[in-house]
Amino acid sequence: MPEEKKVTLIVHSGDLDKFMSALILGNGFLSMGMGVTMYFTFWGLQRLIKGKLSKAPLSKWNFWGLGAWMMKKRMKKVRIASPERLIRDFKALGGRIIACEMTMEVMGMSRKDLDESLIDDYGAVGMYVKETLESEYTLFI
């Protein structure tokens, strides 16, 4: 039996549009039978803070939160899954989430700040390197 192909997504941004892109891509790869690891670092870690999964600005045209509100309303109207649904699907399909411990220290975060039900592991650059060496593709979002 051939070895499973893998993908590593670096989730560096906490912006709603970029976070949604990472989740949609991750679910797409998983649905095609590939293994997927998301490595959350820097502002991407903000999405893993308890209660902050979908409380994110847009990368462009945020307008003090109005842009994100309008985008969420539009996504609901055209039946795009919410970040909560996408991450639930990601986990159900076998996707893995790693939180960068070094960045947690830099950003002043601790494990108790994060929603540990989403996180499979904590690690630093060595864990990321190991994941990418086992991956067919690596994407930076």
The DSSP code sequence of 65-97 is GHHHHHHHHHHHHTTPPPHHHHHHHHHHTT-EE
Per-residue pLDDT band for 63 (boundaries 50, 70, 90) equals confident
Please give the Cα distance from 67 to 65 (Å, whole number): 5
Please give the span between the terminal C-alpha atoms of the chain, in angstroms, as a whole number.
32
**Within-domain flag for 62:** yes
Does residue 74 lie within any of the structural domains?
A: yes
Q: Is residue 68 situated within a structural domain?
A: yes
Please report the pLDDT score of residue 103 as a whole number: 95
Q: Which of 38, 28, 35, 5 is nearest to 123 (CA)?
A: 38
| Bigger pLDDT: 64 vs 23 | 23
For the cut 70, the answer to whether the pLDDT of residue 106 exceeds it is yes
pTM over 0.85: yes
The number of folded domains in the chain is: 1
In a domain, 37, yes or no: yes
Residue 23 lies in a domain: yes
pLDDT score at 1: 43
Q: Domain for residue 122, yes or no?
A: yes
Domain enclosing residue 123, as ranges: 6-140
Q: How many residues does the chain have?
A: 141
Q: What is the mean pLDDT of the chain?
A: 91
Long-range contacts of residues 102-111, Cβ cutoff 8 Å, at least 24 apart: 103/41, 103/42, 103/45, 104/45, 106/42, 107/42, 107/45, 109/45, 109/49
Any domain includes 1: no
Radius of gyration of the chain (CA): 15
Can you give the CATH number for the domain in which 18 is found?
3.40.1260.10
Of 21, 4, 3, which is closest to residue 12 (Cα–Cα)? 21
